[in-house]
Amino acid sequence: VTKGKLTLLCDANTDGSFLVHHFLSFYLKANCKVCFVALIQSFSHYNIVGQKLGVSLTVARECGQLVFLEGLKSSVDVFFRAQAEPHPLQFLREANAENLQPLYEFVREALKPVDDGEAAWRCPVLLVDDLSVLLSLGMGAVAVLDFIHYCRATVCWERKGNIVALVHDSGDTEDEENNILLNGLSHQSHLILRAEGLATGFCRDVHGQLRILWRTPSQPTTQRDQSLTYQYKIQDKSVSFFAKGMSPAVL
Amino acid sequence: MAAVATCGTGAGSTGSVVAAGSKNHVTSFQRRGPRASGSDSSYSRLVSIAGTRPSVRNGQLLVSTGLPALDQLLGGGLAVGTVLLIEEDKYNIYSSLLFKYFLAEGIINGHTLLVASAKEDPADILQELPAPLLDDNFKKDFDEEACNHKTAESNIKMKIAWRYQLLPKMEAGPVSSSRFGHYYDASKKMPQELIEASKWHGFFFPEKSSSTLNIEPCSLTHGYIKLLQFIQNIIYEEGFDGSNPQKKQKNILRIGIQNLGSPLWGDDICCTENGNSHSLTKFLYVLRGLLRTSLSACMITMPTHLIQNKAIISRVTNLSDTVVGLESFIGSERETNPLYKDYHGLIHIRQIPRLNNLIYDVSDVKDLAFKLKRKLFTIEEEKEYTLNDLYKRLHLPPDLSDTVSRSSKQDLAEPSKLLGPGCGVMAGGKKHLDF
């Protein structure tokens, strides 16, 4: 498990959520402490898929390994009744929320190192599914970039942990805010995983193409970034990858 | 499958919807199967909610959309707890028909309805619902049609016409109201006594807009806030979120929202490109939260063809679970195109959710067209035409020679231009035009 890295997950014309499920189960199995900001699906959805991939989110949550912010459920709480204390999704109630500070505070608190020496987890991990939703909820791209910046400072640099976040690539739909967010994050990321739908359209045996790009954001770009491309097919409990054109269905 | 935990711990709970970390939350996304905490009786109580069935794929609880053809395309039906977004056709003819089928299905199954509209009074909408086709009447009509058909195979009873060999034939017609999915006669109205026996709540925006808001102003428009409060109120009051555990019989809440995003709701995204870009998406998000925590299913029709800012459409799609687009041929050049004369329009399945799963059920066929016959709304794959079919349709003399004369090539070039814009649909036909 490498440390201090920001991994960007991105999907264009397809559903990249299988990557989120993968990283969630990967880090839980690697004994890391995970803070999962799940904005777009319910807890039980991730739990059921997680079980197929070999982890139990319920157990992880109960023993403190996983801190799960269930965005959908919390949004109902926040929206319909005023909260006594600041809530991570406070911005839902506000007309012009400036920033995502309450959400950042939540993350910082969740990944606070435990001092009492028991059950030491490996590095802390922040997982976000997905950041584009924050734009739909009224936050500007700059606010979201600031949020990630703060999280990076705390999680990656201070606590030597990792961040994995998903952003949709809206392609040609002229979503400027989303493009700003995507480009901004791409420049900051160490690793970019981009799931793309096939240019030729839907195919039963090849669900899409995954581009992997390794970057070194801090160094000047004199050296080439490494990249690889695979095609993949998603199955019930796993995803199989193969080189372009080498799908078992074709050979 | 859903709310097994609720039934088990129901006795001790306080019924508060939003207790943090409560074990009382109801989601329909829990897998069926042996569970330590649940009891068999609670599981069977849940599965026996009228008008629902578990999905074959992942045990997800499904309800019918009111159109068995559409149910099949969506992998069995509409999942409880999700949103089905219908992108309206240009004149809102077929989308409002689908809306009515959805509500009619709710009445037949005894579900509670919540009808929201800014254009029509919900009471009027309910009066306009199509009548269900009952056993004997349907059979009689089928027999009549059978005499007119020359085909030996009884595929008149097929409503979906793709991959005959691979898919099992659909059962013919409605049997009784304990079935999943019913057929409706668009030319007759739902009997009054059925409407009166049903439980429904109406939200007619012009009536509600005057009452005061007790929520802080946020970027949502007034109409959306009131609608959300209304929905949340019904869900809570009637226990669809599991907050009234002493209720014996669980039921589904069917929410139908018409023309969401149109100016009648107070939203300006259809009027200007720089409109309120977050109101609708925020609404959809909170709605999704409400749905995921209750036994409800929602159909929304939206005039997406009017939305000026395309970015909003993609955000709306991402916030909806299932998205189906309707495109009618009325008023378009295709209406008179002989190649399309069998159909009234196209159906585009734009998005199907992957719930509790890495994969989803998706049919291989993407090119689907619909037609509204006297009684029935059917969906079929676009036919592939052989060259001779094309000649027949276009009333051209069949040309058996390899070389094609200049004049007939010209005639074929015209319709191929018409095919152009819809070439995604008629891919099969087009390739046969290559010489």
Q: What is the pLDDT of residue B376?
A: 76
Q: Does B17 touch chain A (CB under 8 A)?
A: yes
Residue B115 above 60 pLDDT?
yes
Hey, how many other C-beta atoms are within 10 angstroms of the C-beta on B358?
Answer: 20
Q: What is the pLDDT of residue B33?
A: 39
What is d(CA B190, CA B187) in angstroms, rounded to the nearest whole number?
10
3-state SS assignment for residue B97: helix
Cis status of the peptide bond prior to A130, with omega within 30 of 0: yes
Higher-confidence residue of A150 and A245: namely A150
- For B265, counting Cβ atoms within 10 Å of its Cβ (0-12 exposed, 13-18 middle, 19+ buried), the class is buried
Q: What is the pLDDT of residue B363?
A: 59
Angle between helices A176-188 and B310-319 (to 10 degrees): 70
For range B187-192, the mean pLDDT: 90
Q: What is the pLDDT of residue B129?
A: 94
B61-63 sheet: strands from edge to edge: B52-54, B61-63, B78-79
Most confident of A68-82, A237-251, B372-386: A68-82
Residue A122 above 90 pLDDT?
no
Query: How far from A208 is each of A247, B111, B322, CA to CA, in Å?
Result: 11, 40, 20
Sequence-ordered alpha helix ranges (H) in B74-221: 94-109, 122-127, 135-148, 192-197, 205-208
Q: Are A131 and A181 in contact (CB under 8 A)?
A: yes
Q: What DSSP line would sit under B316-358, residue for residue?
A: HHHH-SEEEEEEE-TTSGGGG-GGGTT-SEEEEEEE----SSS
Cα angle for residues A100, A105, A111 (degrees, 5° grid): 130
For range A9-36, the mean pLDDT: 93
Average model confidence (pLDDT) for chain B? Answer: 72
The gap from C-alpha B131 to its chain's centroid, in whole angstroms, comes to: 18
Residue B413 above 60 pLDDT?
no
What is d(CA A228, CA B281) in angstroms, rounded to the nearest whole number?
35
Q: Which amino acid is present at A111?
A: L
Note which residues in 307-326 of chain B have CB less than 8 A from chain A: 309-311, 313-315, 318-319
Residue B240 above 80 pLDDT?
yes
What lies within 8 Å, CB to CB, of B388 at 6+ separation is B398
Q: What is the pLDDT of residue A180?
A: 93
Q: What is the pLDDT of residue A201?
A: 72
Q: What is the pLDDT of residue A191?
A: 92
Q: Are B62 and B82 in contact (CB under 8 A)?
A: no
Residues of B with Cβ-Cβ distance to A44 under 8 angstroms = 27, 29-30, 356
DSSP class of residue B83 equals E
Query: How far from B376 is each of A163, B138, B372, CA to CA, in Å?
Result: 53, 11, 6
pLDDT in tens, B388-411: 666 666 665 555 544 433 333 333
Q: What is the pLDDT of residue A74?
A: 93
Residue A83 — pLDDT band, cuts 50, 70, 90? confident
Query: How far from A130 is each of A9, A124, B259, CA to CA, in Å?
Result: 9, 19, 28
Element (H, E) at A128: strand A122-129
Q: Are A139 and A90 in contact (CB under 8 A)?
A: no
For range A112-127, the mean pLDDT: 78
- Identify which of B380, B317, B246, B297 has the alpha carbon closest to the alpha carbon of residue A171: B317
- Give the gap in angstroms from C-alpha B430 to the nearest C-alpha of chain A: 17
- Give the least confident one: A208-212, B141-145, B344-348: B141-145
Residues of B with Cβ-Cβ distance to A18 under 8 angstroms = 358
Query: For residue A67, which phi and psi values (nearest 5 degrees)?
Result: -110, 120
Q: Which amino acid is present at A120?
A: A
**Which residue among A132, A204, A236 places its CB closest to the CB of B358?**
A236
Higher-confidence residue of B264 and A203: namely B264
How many residues are present in chain A? 251
For chain A, the straight-line distance linking the first and the last C-alpha, in angstroms and rounded, comes to: 35
Q: Does B232 touch chain A (CB under 8 A)?
A: yes
Residue B31 — pLDDT band, cuts 50, 70, 90? very low
Q: What is the pLDDT of residue B362?
A: 64
**Contact call for B293 and A73, based on CB within 8 A:** yes
pLDDT in tens, B79-109: 999 999 999 999 999 999 999 999 999 999 9
Q: To the nearest whole percent, how much of chain B has pLDDT over 70?
A: 61
pLDDT in tens, A42-72: 999 999 999 999 999 999 999 999 999 999 9
Residue A115 — pLDDT band, cuts 50, 70, 90? low
Q: What is the pLDDT of residue B220?
A: 84
Q: To the nearest whole percent, how much of chain B has pLDDT over 90?
A: 34
For range B312-317, the mean pLDDT: 92
Residue B163 above 50 pLDDT?
no
How many Cβ pairs within 8 Å bridge chains A and B? 129
Most confident of A230-234, B13-17, B61-65: B61-65
Q: What is the pLDDT of residue B391?
A: 61
Residue A242 above 90 pLDDT?
no
**Contact call for A137 and B358, based on CB within 8 A:** no
How many residues are present in chain B? 435
pLDDT in tens, B242-261: 877 666 678 999 999 999 99
- pTM, whole model, 2 decimals? 0.80
**Contact call for B292 and A72, based on CB within 8 A:** yes
**Contact call for B318 and A76, based on CB within 8 A:** no
Q: B282-316 in b/e burial notation, b at 16+ Cβ within 10 A?
A: bbbbbbbbbbbbbbbbbbbbbbbeebebebbbbbb
Q: Do the strands A32-38 and A66-70 form a parallel or antiparallel pair, or are they unpaired?
A: parallel
**Contact call for A42 and B29, based on CB within 8 A:** yes
Q: What is the pLDDT of residue A73?
A: 93
Q: What is the pLDDT of residue B176?
A: 40
The gap from C-alpha B355 to its chain's centroid, in whole angstroms, comes to: 17
What is d(CA B201, CA B271) in angstroms, rounded to the nearest whole number?
30
